Amino acid sequence: MTYDADTGLLLLDTPHTSYSAYVGREDDIPIHTYWGPPITAEDAAYLATSTAERLASQWACFRSAANRHEEYPLDGGLQFGRAALSVEFPGAVRTIEWRLARHEITAGPGHQELALWFEARHQELTVTLYYRVYDDSDVIDRSVVVRNDSTTDAVDVHRLDSAAWVTPEQPRHRMTHLTGRWAAETQVRRTDLTDGHLVLESRRGITSHHANPWFAIDDGTATEESGRVYSATLHWSGSWRMLAQRELDEPAQVLFGWGHEGFGPRRLEPGEVLKTPVSSGLFTADGFGAMSHAWHEYALRHVLPNSGELRPVLFNSWEATGFDVDEAGQRALARQAADLGCELFVLDDGWFGRRSGDQAGLGDWWVNTGRFPRGLKPLIDEVHALGMGFGLWIEPEMVNPDSDLYRAHPEWTYHYAGREPHTMRHQLVLNLARPDVAEWVFGELDALLSANDIQFVKWDMNRPFTDTGWPEQPDRQGRLWLDHVTGVYGVIDALRRKHPGVAFEACSGGGGRVDFGIMARTDQFWPSDNTDALDRRYIQHGFSHLYPARTMSCWVTDLPTFINKRRVPLSYRFHVAMAGVLGIGGDLNAWTAEETEEARRLIAQYKEIRHIVQHGRLHRLGEPGRSASAVQYVTADQKESVVLVYQEAQQYDSNPAPIRLRGLAPEGGYRVDGGAVLSGALLMGHGITPQLTGDYASTLIRLELLA
């Protein structure tokens, strides 16, 4: 990482890429020049000079010379596109001009960080651009800090993006992104960027039911194994916006940050500092597969806590009992789960308050003594005696109007004065932007974890924001979209510090909060409420583009599924769920002896291979569809590999075509399922032919490298 104060030249080097920009001498506007395979300092200097000359020679009567090349575009001046930073100063002034005041490069364990401090020329405002690079990753982290230096005047922040990512001029800009809805999250979509704007965002206060905060851009030719891909994500768990903009013969510029269109403004008081979440960017030269590998490794090394752990096989009681829970029933389920080989027992909804259905009790986090007369301790003790950890479902950001909490504090919810708030699922959202509410939530959960020996918390959040008023603090309404999320972060961070032995799962009506922001403070995601095995193939396929299998919680549930009433074999359901962190969510009381025995065998098999699945490199071998496809995992030393093969439908009498594997040692000999020994070269060049017959057929293949 270098920055030359004399020339304004910025060069960031990662293990396999370079990134360069320069700060213009006349206006101090940083101009992006390069992002790709490694270059030298001399190359970067040439690019700065040639880019400056090119921009200066353009006919600029109708656009800024720097148009779409800005490293961080500002509102005002000759900027006609969307700005990454838009601030309204006293007098309704919305334009910013700045000068570079200083820079600093610092080093930490395994990383370097560059800070560029810019001061507004006509207002009292400081804007700092941060860059971070790692010794072991090609990911570049970027963020921005804004400080109101005035001692008297507040300013309104209308837009504050974490980064503007510039991809090079090329004939075609194809964007890949993840979209969907409840029960159909993380669907892969690809679209060409045309002249103008493309906006993806969440306006719900949560991240990712309908779009996930991630994108990838290529020239339309990239495949799993080849092609240049530029991608970025946002470490944030609330509303966000990604805006891609381009004009004829210009690069594509993507603005990425928190807060949806029209969320604010966010008032910045005198002396106040506001720091954006991180946006991370990545260039890879070898297709979408290499892109995913780099993101997974970055997540495991630099984002996910306790990433080296193996996640246990869990049993969750929800589908077995619904709200009809009591101590005796849960004890019986725990004994059955332990007999199957489960390692974690999770008591879901219905254990607290006056909770007999979804219309009451949320917010009353005291144990229902009618159902658990002696509290949770006897159940927890039995679960531990059976050799399992104990987990609990909670939904701390919600409240039912029919609850002791709401009757005592109706003002703690988002609402508008004089209007009846809209309920969804009979729920309202607690205003965790209020420090007193966040403090109360922490106190309730801290007391719960302190009084009970709990190893796992499933943190749910089942409805988006509506009626986003704060009548007692009307000038703070623009803050709540941001401050609610930081309030949630603060509660979870404090709980983890005080209870380091407790793991957390992030859930939001399924995959409504799947992002790097919540990943940094939880141990796994619940990707979707949809547990239908075929639908999960598509959900998990999209999920894998950014998020590692180690974070993906997958359940085997009963038939027919509540989503679409589909019936598929138990082995297929298991093989789909074994592609991540395996869980069981069915009613064990209704399982036959044959199903129980098959489940016991498959759970034992998963325990043998989970170190490969949860920590190996993931390869997508085809896409879900009618023909056979697979997901492969390979350990870092290439000594072990697992292949999960799926055939959704057999057509005519055709057998599956050979599936070419990846990531093996070409010269090595691999024993396949304890039988034949084949070379890595053959397995990757010709492939392996799965023996599958019929619909919803699947198999697990294990390979071991011979010494």
Tokens read off for 589: 């009381």
Neighbour-count burial of 348, counting CB atoms closer than 10 A to its CB (0-12 exposed, 13-18 middle, 19+ buried): buried
123 alpha-carbon distance from chain centroid? 37
pLDDT over threshold 70, residue 60: no
Tokens read off for 548: 């590692």
Nearest Cα neighbor of 149 from 244, 268, 282 is: 268
Average pLDDT score over the chain? 96
The Cα–Cα gap between 153 and 149 comes to: 9
> What per-residue confidence (pLDDT) applies to 67?
78
Q: How many percent of the chain have pLDDT more than 90?
A: 91
Span 561-571, pLDDT tens digits = 889 999 999 99
Task: Tell me how far CA of residue 69 lies from CA of 3, 28, 29, 48, 254, in angstroms.
Answer: 19, 13, 10, 12, 11
pLDDT over threshold 70, residue 427: yes
The Cα–Cα gap between 35 and 230 comes to: 9
> What per-residue confidence (pLDDT) applies to 478?
87
Q: Which residues are annotated as a binding site?
A: 182, 348-349, 425, 458-462, 507, 529
pLDDT (average), residues 658-685: 98
Contacts by residues 555-560 (CB-CB < 8 Å, ≥ 24 positions apart): 555/316, 555/531, 555/583, 555/584, 555/585, 556/531, 556/582, 556/583, 556/584, 556/585, 556/586, 556/599, 557/319, 557/531, 557/585, 557/586, 558/319, 558/585, 558/586, 558/587, 558/590
pLDDT (average), residues 631-638: 98
Contacts of 672 (CB under 8 A, 6+ apart): 678, 688, 701, 702, 703
Lowest mean pLDDT among 229-233, 493-497, 653-657: 653-657
Confidence label for 654 from pLDDT (cuts 50, 70 and 90): confident
pLDDT (average), residues 439-445: 98
Q: Which residues are annotated as a binding site for substrate?
A: 182, 348-349, 425, 458-462, 507, 529
Span 5-26, pLDDT tens digits = 999 999 999 999 999 999 998 8
Span 327-381, pLDDT tens digits = 999 999 999 999 999 999 999 999 999 999 999 999 999 999 999 999 999 999 9
Contact 142/113 with Cβ under 8 angstroms?
no
pLDDT over threshold 90, residue 439: yes
pLDDT over threshold 80, residue 61: no
Do the strands 581-584 and 553-556 form a parallel or antiparallel pair, or are they unpaired?
A: parallel
> What per-residue confidence (pLDDT) applies to 29?
93
Confidence label for 79 from pLDDT (cuts 50, 70 and 90): confident
pLDDT (average), residues 423-446: 98
- The C-alpha angle 168, 257, 493, rounded to 5 degrees, equals 130
pLDDT (average), residues 94-122: 97
> What per-residue confidence (pLDDT) applies to 368?
97
Secondary structure letter of residue 190 according to DSSP: E
> What per-residue confidence (pLDDT) applies to 47?
97
Contact 430/437 with Cβ under 8 angstroms?
yes
Task: Tell me how far CA of residue 39 lies from CA of 43, 111, 392, in angstroms.
Answer: 6, 20, 52
The Cα–Cα gap between 603 and 610 comes to: 10
> What per-residue confidence (pLDDT) applies to 626?
76
Tally of CB atoms within 10 A around 248: 5
Span 168-218, pLDDT tens digits = 999 999 999 999 999 999 999 999 999 999 999 999 999 999 999 999 999
> What per-residue confidence (pLDDT) applies to 186?
98
Tokens read off for 653: 């009498």
> What per-residue confidence (pLDDT) applies to 267?
94
Do the strands 344-347 and 389-394 form a parallel or antiparallel pair, or are they unpaired?
A: parallel
pLDDT (average), residues 291-296: 98
pLDDT (average), residues 582-609: 97
Instruction: Return the active site residues.
Output: 460, 529
Tokens read off for 15: 């293990």
The Cα–Cα gap between 436 and 199 comes to: 35
> What per-residue confidence (pLDDT) applies to 263?
87
Do the strands 314-316 and 344-347 form a parallel or antiparallel pair, or are they unpaired?
A: parallel
Confidence label for 625 from pLDDT (cuts 50, 70 and 90): confident
Whether the pTM exceeds 0.75: the reply is yes
Q: Which residue has the tokens 């005291």?
A: 366
Tokens read off for 293: 């590998």
> What per-residue confidence (pLDDT) applies to 249?
77
pLDDT over threshold 70, residue 63: no
Phi/psi of residue 346, each to 5°? -115, 120
